[in-house]
């Protein structure tokens, strides 16, 4: 039997409101991560419990394996399609009843299986858009929700001197180069966003690099006491994991990178790996 579940109100309160609030506060959100934890998987597990179903299965490119007495989240077989980053806020105790059947295959292999099985979606193009924003025009969407976000303000340099005007803080994210309306002989990059002062700070490319980041609201799949100090950290979905030392301080982690990283952005998720195993994750924050 096929069931449909209306999650309109839940999605609005947990994902859309969060998305708008993060931009309002100068952060760059990741709605897919939040949706997986607070809407998609929560709803599936609630329904599974209602039906006394033993497992929940989705089409994510990731894997789950049992290590000793625990279950761990792992990268999918094909690194280019791996979706473990977007699943890194799932609850650890969910893993024992989650199935990711396509995670052991490449996308090409899955497409071939779908084609051989005459499933109609095998030719469907992938979408990188935010699912609840038509045409991916998030600026129009945000202006409709929060007209005040379009308030112009000052662009300042690294010495806090006013060098230009911006048309609204939500047009910018850390590390951005395009759209900075300042006359300059060198490329300028956004290095900070101050919502209280309604200012954008810009500097040279080197100023957009940092050696460390702070991470909060931690979610561990492995006992933090058993996590090695040297890990690989992924600081956004399209970022290649890089080596870092992590210091765990109760509810916060300080990740110190072996090499400076570009555009470490508050609001994005940092995911920590040991080889292919997802150790845990948390949200990048200000100091």
User: Has residue 267 got a pLDDT over 90?
Assistant: yes
Note whether 162 and 155 are within 8 A (CB).
yes
Task: Report how far residue 137's alpha carbon sits from residue 25's, in angstroms, rounded to the nearest whole number.
Answer: 19
Phi, psi of 84 (to 5 degrees): -60, -30
Cα–Cα distances (Å) from 103 to 97, 124, 172, in that order, read 15, 19, 35
209-266, pLDDT tens digit by residue? 999 999 999 999 999 989 998 999 999 999 999 999 999 988 999 999 999 999 999 9
The CATH 2.40.30.10 domain(s) of the chain lie at 209-285
Residue 64 has pLDDT above 90, yes or no: yes
Let me know if 131 is a catalytic residue. yes
The angle formed by the CA atoms of residues 64, 276 and 267, to the nearest 5 degrees, is 90
Whether 35 is catalytic is: yes
Q: Which fold has domain 151-203?
A: SH3 type barrels. (2.30.30)
pTM above threshold 0.85: yes
Q: What is residue 122's predicted lDDT score, i.e. its pLDDT? A: 62
Where are the CATH 3.40.50.620 domain residues in the chain?
A: 8-123
CA distances from 62 to 88, 100, 222 (A): 10, 6, 17
Given CATH 3.30.70.2080, say whether it is the number of domain 209-285: no
pLDDT tens, 83-93? 999 999 999 99
DSSP string, 224-281: GGG--SEEEEE-STTPPPEEEEEEEETTEEEEEEEEEEE---TTSEEEEEETTEEEEE
pLDDT band of 277, cuts 50, 70, 90? very high
pLDDT attached to residue 244: 98
Q: What's the confidence (pLDDT) of residue 154?
A: 96
The structure tokens 């100090």 sit at 229
**Tens digit of each residue's pLDDT (9 = 90 or more) over 161-210:** 999 999 888 889 999 999 898 989 999 999 999 999 999 999 999 999 99
Inform me whether the pLDDT recorded for 96 exceeds 90: yes
Residue showing tokens 């005040």: 148
100-150 tens-digit pLDDT: 999 999 999 998 998 888 887 666 777 667 888 877 688 888 888 887 778
DSSP 59-72: --SEEEEEETTEEE
* Residue of 32, 35, 213, 285 marked active site: 35
pLDDT 10s digits, 13-53:
999 999 999 999 989 999 999 999 999 999 999 999 999 99
8-123 is a CATH 3.40.50.300 domain:
no
In the chain, CATH 2.30.30.280 covers 151-203
CB 233 within 8 A of CB 272: yes
How many Cβ atoms from other residues are within 10 Å of residue 50's Cβ? 9
**Residue 60 confidence (pLDDT) above 80:** yes
């Amino acid at each position: 039997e096929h069931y449909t579940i209306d999650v309109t109100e839940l999605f609005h309160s947990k994902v859309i409101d969060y998305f708008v609030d993060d931009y309002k506060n100068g952060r760059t959100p990741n709605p897919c991560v939040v949706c997986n934890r607070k809407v998609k998987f929560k709803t599936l597990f609630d329904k599974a419990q209602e039906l006394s179903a033993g497992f929940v299965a989705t089409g994510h490119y990731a894997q789950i394996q049992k290590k000793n007495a625990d279950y761990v989240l792992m990268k999918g077989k094909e690194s280019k399609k791996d979706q473990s980053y977007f699943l890194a806020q799932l609850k650890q105790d969910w893993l024992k009843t989650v199935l990711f059947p396509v995670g052991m295959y490449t996308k090409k292999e899955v497409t071939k299986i779908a084609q051989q099985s005459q499933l109609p979606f095998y030719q469907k193009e992938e979408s990188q858009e935010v699912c609840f924003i038509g045409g991916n025009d998030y600026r129009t969407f945000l202006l409709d929700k929060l007209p005040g976000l379009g308030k112009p303000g000052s662009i300042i340099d690294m010495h806090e001197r006013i060098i230009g005007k911006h048309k609204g803080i939500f047009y910018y994210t850390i590390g951005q180069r395009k759209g900075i309306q300042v006359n300059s002989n060198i490329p300028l990059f956004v290095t900070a966003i101050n919502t209280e002062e309604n200012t954008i700070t810009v500097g040279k490319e080197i100023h957009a690099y940092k050696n460390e980041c702070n991470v909060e609201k931690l979610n561990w799949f492995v006992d933090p006491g058993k996590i090695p100090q040297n890990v690989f950290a992924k600081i956004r979905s399209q970022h290649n994991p890089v080596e870092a030392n992590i210091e765990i301080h109760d509810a916060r982690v300080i990740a110190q990178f072996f090499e400076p990283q570009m555009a470490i952005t508050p609001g994005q998720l940092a995911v920590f790996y040991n080889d292919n195993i997802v150790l845990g994750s948390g949200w990048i924050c200000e100091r």
